[in-house]
Structure 1
Amino acid sequence: MNSSASENSAARVRRVHRYTWWMVMPTAPIYCLLAIVNLVHGRVTGLYNNVELVVLLAVVLAIAVEGTRACGMIMRGMGAGIPEPVRITTDFTASLVVLGYVTTREIPAFLLFTLLPALFAAAIVTGSRREHRWWMGCGCTVLTAGVASASVVATGNEEFVPVTVGYATFLVAMTVFMLLVQGWIWDVVCELDRARGTEAELAVARERLRFASELHDVQGHHLQVIALKGELTERMIDSDADAARAQAAEIAETARRALRETREVVHGYRRSDLSTELNNAVRILRAASIETTVEGSSTSVPPPLQPLFAAMVREGTTNILRHSGARRCELRIDDTDGISVTLCNDGAGNGSEHDAGSGIAGLRDRFDPMHGSLTAERRGEWFELVGHAPAPGEG
């Protein structure tokens, strides 16, 4: 993921956060403002005296502060827990007391004051674990409707109880649902943002693995060739100076090629060619006195699979030079059922590639995304490295 896409994604997350914040956080102040307007109107009409008004206003203002804190709990996401359960239970209880008191003075007031306990109910439900949310929501709703209806009964207006229960239940359920949905949306956005970050980290890790594998292929192969030719040069220097000089020249050329290919790996535009790797393998193995034959043509391998099988041939050749005492090597290319390339040698009895280290494992990691397979096994005195991949379009 490039930096521009990452910045755009982060900007979208910030926009969603602002939207969710403005939908959730002002809820408590707005509900409490409506309640304060109702209380002031009640004082004007003579429902409350000055002492009652002051006490009720103080309690409602405290509920506004605590309700805003409860909305902040909702912004933490679903199932984040209830950090201070005693405190929020006290807040919920205080809002029920205010609801009951004002309903005994003015029955229609319960329509506004039911919203206050609904705020804390939403915070409790959002913070609860999934298996407890339904029961917490039902419990808070029943308590709120019960307090409102009991207050109506206390006024001697039992005929209004069904309406009170119905409206109280609806208002609490609506408030809990509205805030719960907002919390869920924010939770989903945060989860997607974390997944995006994880995807970006995985992309970096995959690129590092690819780079390490490419570097292993280039450096391991060329260093093994340089070591082999260095030994040949050392043996020839006294008996055949011209041949020794030719080998020394090849060592220098191999070193330059290794440097060039390493730079290509670093800059990310190196692309292996199977034909080139086959020619290099035959030349190097024969220089090591290993009889080498090739069956099939590299042109039968589709271009998308050329780098894959080129890496396999390069790794197999390096392992033969490094680990085996082979005298014969066979390279076979078969395109009758997908594409198969086989590299086998008769050096298995001397401890061949079955212990070759991370190179074979790295090759398997390359074959997997192409829906291919790589096997390395002994067959008597022979060791076989077989790579297979379906031709593009075959799946």
Structure 2
Amino acid sequence: MAFNSAAIEEFSDIWVFCEQREGKLMSTDIELISEGRKLANERGCKLVGLLLGADGIESAAKELGGYGADKIIVASDERLAVYTTDAYTKVICDVIMDKKPEVFLVGASNIGRDLGPRVAARLHTGLCADCTHLDINMDIYTDFLREASTIDVDSVKFDMEDKNMKMTRPAFGGHMMATIICPRFRPCMATVRPGVLKKAPFDQTKADAVEIEKVQVNLSDSDLKTKVIEVVKESRKMVDLLGAEVIVSVGNGISKNPEKGIEYAKQLAEALGGGVVGASRAVTDAGWLTADHQVGQTGKTVRPKIYVALGISGAIQHKAGMQDSELIIAVNTNEDAPIFEVADYGIVGDLYEIVPLMIQEIQKVRA
């Protein structure tokens, strides 16, 4: 029988594409499996991970079970060792057409942003890109709206029986958030921003219990339009915002002396315990820091233990990228700056005067 993406009653289960590089799982895999577990519980179905790679990649599958997957489907072939759009799209679409998942989640990494649209187009289904929040259950979704939106939820008539996945993402340049559904086709596909979802704790019992299913890979030379000849790694050291527990970010408030402002941020990050320096878009656009430092909807979404915003006004695009940090400290000369709306501690003043005092006091406490 031919695959029909509009026959939505034939589809079931939540699937996650589990990205690997050089045989190692990516942090987005754990985030998506953790979120997929929540969605599968809401839907009352199984959570399945799809893992592609070279022979032996199945050894990484059990780890995914430890974060909540019921089953990992493994497609192993030497031609899948390194990602290529043609090979991965062919294999993934073959498996999806055969097994028909209701939802297919992909991390919005460089690979995911290339792979997701190609898979969706071939399957004739919809894709919502760069999502920051996902829900299926309407009660949970309306609770999210009460907390995170300006909508008067109680005055709106919702279809509380709606079982479509609700995919929330920034829209109109980040000036608003939109929730999108795909009611007519399956699987419902979304790419999800790295760093926005919480990781579940690892459970060895679940890892031991996960089911692993190996599927046959059907690839021919005619399926492959490209071939990876060599992988050259960039030698420049990139800042790891997603893995940092402490981030000190600078904004347009350092404009009178950018070099000094960035140096103060580095010193404060170090004093707080080996943190890293982030930036608003204004700083990277000005060329004071490179784009890998950028926090926000067009940069990276982070949730460190401590986030310090120096001279950042707090536009919605920036706040969306850091507002889930455990502790937020803001320094700004404008007492009405939007950043203070999400800050746990706010200091009104000149960062060039405040930051040296902060460093001094932190060093005293640590001593």
Decide which structure has the larger Cα Rg and report it: 1
State if a TM-score over 0.5 links the two structures: no
Q: Per chain length, whose mean CA-contact separation is higher, i.e. which structure has more relative contact order (CA < 8 Å, sep 6+)?
A: 2
- Between Structure 1 and Structure 2, the one with more strand by share is 2
TM-score range, shorter-chain basis? under 0.3
